[in-house]
Structure 1
Amino acid sequence: MTNKLKIINDPVHGFIKIPYEMLFDVIEHPIFQRLRRISQTGLLNLIFPGATHTRFHHALGAMHLMFSALETLKLKGVKISKEEEKSVLLAILLHDIGHGPFSHALENILIEDWHHEKLSLLLMQQLNIEFNGELNTSIEMFQGKYPRKFFNQLISSQIDVDRLDYLKRDSFFSGVSEGNVNTQRIISMMNVSQDELVIDAKGIYSVENYLTARMFMYWQVYFHKTASLAEYFLVKIMQRAKYLTLNGINLPASDNLKYFLNRNSLSETNEEDVLKFTELDDYDVFLSIKMWTKSSDFLLSYYCKSLINRHFPKTIISSKPFDEAIICEKINKTNLYFNIDFGNEIVGEIKRTLLPYDAEKQPIYLLQKDGNKIKLEESANQILSSFITQTNSKYILFFPREIS
């Protein structure tokens, strides 16, 4: 008999336990193993060389933090059955199962109208059939349909275990210490009031530190100007490849990638769509990009060479939109230099917007000693919460280095 109650050594959290055999069976499934070949942070390793971790790492880490959160809640008197515990661990383990190549970057490009959460649900339902309905409750929790709301909030909210893991993990692998949040302190402050997730009032500063750490990680790492440009070019590569393929150009690519390049619309899914998707990963895309550097199509080749050789256009960042006249000047110079008339395809402006804390849509509640709960930003002890409820935007102008 195989011992399925394994212990996994994780560089971020230390030893991770697999407390239920069902979890081991799901981890061993090919659909889950595919996450080993899906980057957690897209092309961030082009800027932060250590950021080569995968969705597989993150899913295990989120499961570990979920287990810690459940242990905390049970110690505080919250009744959680073994079935509920197993189900929510399965739900968080599978919450990212629907991510495509390079995670968020290519969402809705190769597979139109297929958000990763929609795909995750599809694949969870497929696994549920294979495992004879053992994921029924997990799917309810994932969708927010389970009566006890706090289970879904632990999976997806403004202070869920998903965010707690990816912030700490991305901080660790990128080497950016500003994102290194104290996950154990925050988890130790978690509580439940009227079946909703709350934070004990004395944990307010840990929560504020977490919110600001997330804000810094977005501006310093996820929205880094070169990272934003790399992601933009990856999207342009796939859009261009799809356009050329649908217009009769036979581009070299893996069978899995060719399948999606040849599909004009995937709003209606079938079994073959899902099967092909579960076989598609970063390697399919990156191998194709390497081959397309030699494409006779100027734009496809330009985008691909920029990524493969890490030879990106020059970028300028601003807190305000760039003047249209400046952008037009760059486009004209580009057209003249390359003798083309589509300079607007390699000159442009990227906008990045962040709302650090959404106090209206998903407020974080503090549980006071008298049993009442208040919104985080309404606490007399808050220092930063009321100042991070405004949307911030930055603008990135990019143009070929040859014309600078």
Structure 2
Amino acid sequence: MTNKFKIINDPVYGFIKIPHEILFDVIEHPYFQRLRRISQTGLLNLIYPGATHTRFHHALGAMHLMFTALETLKLKGTVISREEEKSAMLAILLHDIGHGPFSHALENMLMHDWHHEKLSLLLMRRLNDEFEGELSMAIEMFQGKYHRKFFNQLISSQLDVDRLDYLKRDSFYTGVTEGNVNTQRIISMMNVSDEELVIDAKGIYSIENFLTARMFMYWQVYYHKTSALAEHLLVKILARAKELVLAGTALPASENLRYFLHRNHSGSASPEDIHRFTQLDDTDIIQAMKAWAEHEDFLLSYFCQCVIRRQFPKTVISSKPFDAAFIQQKKEKTNEIFGIENGEKLVDEIALSLLPYSAHRQPIYLLLKDGRKITLENSENQILSSSISQPNTKYILAFPRETDAII
């Protein structure tokens, strides 16, 4: 008999336990093992060399934090059955199983109108059939249909174990200390009131620190101008490749990637779509970009060389949209320098928006000593919550360096 109660050595948390056999079985499944080959942060390692961790790492870390959170809630008097514990851990373990190559970067490019959460749910249902219904409660929790709301809030909300792990993990691997949140302190402040997740009022500053850390990580890491450009280029590469293939151009690619390059319809995913998708990972895209970098199509070759050789276009950043005349000037200069007529495809304005905390979308509640609940931004002790409830947008303009970088 295989010992399924394993202990995993994680660089962020130390030893992680697998307390239920079904968790081990799911981790061993090919659907989950594929996450070893899916980058957690896309092409971020081109900016922060240490950011080479995967969705596999993140899913295990989130599972560990879920276990820790449930243990904390039990100590505070919340009754949680062994079946509920197992299901909540399964739900968070599988919450990202539907991610495609390079995580968010190519979402909807391969499976049109299929967000990773939609694919995750579909794959969870397949696993549920395979494991004879053991994931039924986990799927209810994942969808927010389970009668105890706090389980879904731990999986997906403005303060969930998913965000707690990716902030701490991404901070660890990038070396950006601003994102290093105190997960133990935050989890120790979690509580349940009327079957909803709340935070003990004395933990307000830990929560504000978490929200500001997330904001800093977005602007300093995830929305770093070069990182945003790299992901934008990935989308342009796949879009151009599909355009060429559908026009009859033969492009070298793995069998599974070739399948999606030729696929040009929306609607329900067929069994063949799902089978092909679960065979795809980052290596298919990297292999293709290496080959396409030498292709005769100028645009495809240019985009691929930018990524593979890390020869990115020039970028400038602004708090407001760029002047249309300036953008047009860059497009005309691009046509002139490269001797092409579609230079506008090499000049891009990218808009990045962030709302650090929404007071309206499933707000964070504080539990006062007298049992009353108040929203975070309405606490008289809050310092930052009201000031980070406004959206912020930045604009990046990317254009070939040869067109003169000086504005």
| TM score, norm. by length of structure 1 | 1.00
Q: Which consecutive aligned stretches of 4+ in structure 1 deviate over 4 angstroms post-superposition?
A: none
- The 5-angstrom pairing of residues 233-382 of structure 1 reads 233-382=233-382
Amino acid at match of 2:22: M
User: What is the aligned length?
Assistant: 404
In structure 2, the partner of 1:184 is 184
Give the CA deviation at 1:185. Answer: 0.2
In structure 2, the partner of 1:174 is 174
SS in 2 for 1:322: coil
SS in 2 for 1:398: strand
Could you tell me how far apart the structure 2 residues matched to 1:403 and 1:123 are? 47
Give the CA deviation at 1:343. Answer: 1.1
In structure 2, the partner of 1:155 is 155
Give the CA deviation at 1:403. Answer: 1.4
In structure 2, the partner of 1:208 is 208
Amino acid at match of 1:103: S
Amino acid at match of 1:158: Q
- 2:26 aligned with 1:26: yes
Amino acid at match of 1:156: S
Could you tell me how far apart the structure 2 residues matched to 1:383 and 1:324 are? 40
In structure 1, the partner of 2:12 is 12
Give the CA deviation at 1:269. Answer: 1.3
- 2:43 aligned with 1:36: no
Amino acid at match of 1:68: T
- The 5-angstrom pairing of residues 89-128 of structure 1 reads 89-128=89-128
Could you tell me how far apart the structure 2 residues matched to 1:342 and 1:218 are? 32
Could you tell me how far apart the structure 2 residues matched to 1:168 and 1:269 are? 34
In structure 2, the partner of 1:83 is 83
Amino acid at match of 1:317: I
SS in 1 for 2:267: coil
Could you tell me how far apart the structure 1 residues matched to 2:178 and 2:362 are? 24
Could you tell me how far apart the structure 2 residues matched to 1:58 and 1:370 are? 37
Could you tell me how far apart the structure 1 residues matched to 2:339 and 2:285 are? 30
Which runs of no fewer than 5 residues in structure 2 stay unpaired? none
Which runs of no fewer than 5 residues in structure 1 stay unpaired? none
Could you tell me how far apart the structure 2 residues matched to 1:398 and 1:273 are? 34
Give the CA deviation at 1:348. Answer: 1.7
SS in 2 for 1:351: strand
Could you tell me how far apart the structure 2 residues matched to 1:385 and 1:269 are? 41
Amino acid at match of 1:143: Q
| TM score, norm. by length of structure 2 | 0.99
Could you tell me how far apart the structure 2 residues matched to 1:346 and 1:66 are? 44
Could you tell me how far apart the structure 1 residues matched to 2:380 and 2:132 are? 51
Could you tell me how far apart the structure 1 residues matched to 2:223 and 2:37 are? 23
Could you tell me how far apart the structure 1 residues matched to 2:265 and 2:40 are? 26
In structure 2, the partner of 1:220 is 220
Give the CA deviation at 1:109. Answer: 0.8
Give the CA deviation at 1:266. Answer: 3.6
In structure 1, the partner of 2:195 is 195
Please report the RMSD computed on the Cα atoms of aligned residues, expressed in angstroms: 0.5
Give the CA deviation at 1:95. Answer: 0.3
Give the CA deviation at 1:223. Answer: 0.2
Percent of residue pairs bearing the same amino acid type: 73
In structure 2, the partner of 1:60 is 60
Amino acid at match of 1:159: L
Could you tell me how far apart the structure 2 residues matched to 1:344 and 1:164 are? 40
Deviations 1:51-97 (A, max 9, x none): 00000000000000000000000000000000000001000000000
Amino acid at match of 1:152: N
